[in-house]
Amino acid sequence: MFKVVGIYTKPLKTRSPEKIIELLDFLEKSKVKYYIDEQTGENIGEKRNVRRGDEIPSLVDLIIVLGGDGTILSVSRKIANRDTPVIGINFGFLGFLTQIKLERMTEELERVFKGNFRYENRMRLEVEVIKENRVEESFIALNDVVINKKAIARIINLKTYVDGGFLSRFRADGLIISSPTGSTAYNLSSGGPIIVPEHKSFILTPICPHTLTNRPIVLSPNSNIEIVLEDGKDVMLTVDGQTGMELKTSDVVRVKRSPYPLTMVIPNDLNFFDVLREKLKWGER
């Protein structure tokens, strides 16, 4: 089913070389062609089948990511507007996105290559930063967009609109605009709800709001969200915790659903609620 795969790995991972080599041996025995990104090639001293990271998504049928959830977030940006599916092997800690355990890597991939999997389309966010009535920068997020302060003990004021209608003025340390996939990230630690990843919605969660009545809210995936920074110094927009830019007073952040979801390949025996119980220790005393 998958004849050509691309491989990305988390850099400088002590056990990466031997596991990457194990994966390449498995692919060769399975007669699956592969490409590796430059970082992976350098990590294992391999010069064959090496391509630039931004080239790989257009060359392959499947992307295999060996790393943590942060590695998946990074690869998601490289995929951009393509529908190349992704499967994650967990080299990290929590592993909500990289759900396959490292010790079961080849067994699970063998089952996937035989068709024992399902697709999950993960909603992504399209973000624009408007400065002086023009688009200054744009981003694609898989997890979340966060507006928060860089300095300590300062409240920022965020005037928020949904579909042109006034929603609320948030006086808080910041605001998280999350996808369902990102609901188990910063949103969860800030008191927001967990949303099953195949659901489509936005979650707005204030960070340490000054007004106790400000609570997280779940919005339609068709919503157009507009946030105006009314005042606040040293404020940052952060996308997926990895990239972003500084915001100034009167800057506008617009967020809507991206027309390009991220397609995840999930082995049929993996269940989101099993992952929650394992990672969050639900039901344990």
Q: Which residues are catalytic?
A: 69
User: Do 144 and 244 meet the contact criterion of CB atoms below 8 Å apart?
Assistant: no
* Residue reference for tokens 């929590």: 94
Our measurement of the distance from residue 201's CA atom to the centroid of its chain's CA atoms, rounded to an integer in Å, reads 15
User: Do 175 and 227 meet the contact criterion of CB atoms below 8 Å apart?
Assistant: yes
User: Do 225 and 255 meet the contact criterion of CB atoms below 8 Å apart?
Assistant: yes
Q: In which element (H, E) is residue 44 found?
A: helix 38-44
User: Do 63 and 84 meet the contact criterion of CB atoms below 8 Å apart?
Assistant: yes
**One-character DSSP codes across 116-127:** -EEEEEE--EEE
What whole-number distance in Å separates Cα of residue 11 and Cα of residue 247? 31
CB contact set of 171 (below 8 Å; sequence gap of 6+): 155, 156, 157, 158, 209, 210, 211, 214
What whole-number distance in Å separates Cα of residue 58 and Cα of residue 99? 24
User: Do 41 and 50 meet the contact criterion of CB atoms below 8 Å apart?
Assistant: yes
What whole-number distance in Å separates Cα of residue 251 and Cα of residue 264? 34
Name residue 43's amino acid.
N
231: its two tokens:
């005042």
CB contact set of 212 (below 8 Å; sequence gap of 6+): none
